[in-house]
Amino acid sequence: MGRALIVVDVQRDFCEGGAVPVGGGAGRARAIADLVGRTAGSEYTHVVATRDHHLDPGSHFSEHPDFKDSFPVHCVAGTEGSEFHPEFAPTVGTKVDEVFYKGAHSASKSGFEGFTADGTGLADWLRAREVTEVDVVGIATDHCVKATALDGVRADFDVRVLLDYTAGVAADTTARALAELGQAGVELTGVPVVHV
């Protein structure tokens, strides 16, 4: 039985200078790239990444976003903002085994809603490789990281969130997310990173 690392949405639009920037995102991109470089093939039997990949997500894009269910235009497929952050990008194809695209036509937050280019879902991909435990890192702690971790529990994986390798949007929403994760049985390690 193996453990996989799931890297959530380390993309240009979620880092400083992007359309929906999360403070500290670029720093987390560097830290995650280092983590992947150190541990791929040793602690983790597989490393995967998720990627927001919007084509026409409907009301998820809004000129008057509530930053809960709707957001400014971001991570549109084929744009620079949808690309992996340059600090993390070199690991994809070398240390990252697969990429799961999510949100083409909907407001998708969880990596478990994502699919490979050939249409395989994340849970099925992991089960096919006898993965039973997952560690989740990435951006943002209080949105897509939280959703991915909760769906991992629902899919019967043992889930840890490595908070040293996440970035949260705001202190209050991150605190609520951590409480929700803890109640769901997600193991939390490290210290949450929130730059206001």
Give me the active site residues, please: 9, 102, 144
Q: Which residues, including other chains, have CB under 8 Å from residue 52's CB and lie 6 or more apart?
A: 9, 11, 13, 14, 74, 75, 82, 102, 103, 108, 144
**Two structure tokens written together for 22:** 């999360």
CA distance 50 to 73: 18
CA distance 20 to 62: 12
Residues 101-129, buried b or exposed e (16+ Cβ, 10 A)? bbbeeebbbbbbbbbeeeeebbbebbeee
Q: Which residues, including other chains, have CB under 8 Å from residue 93's CB and lie 6 or more apart?
A: none
Residue among 170, 162, 181 nearest 44 (CA) = 162
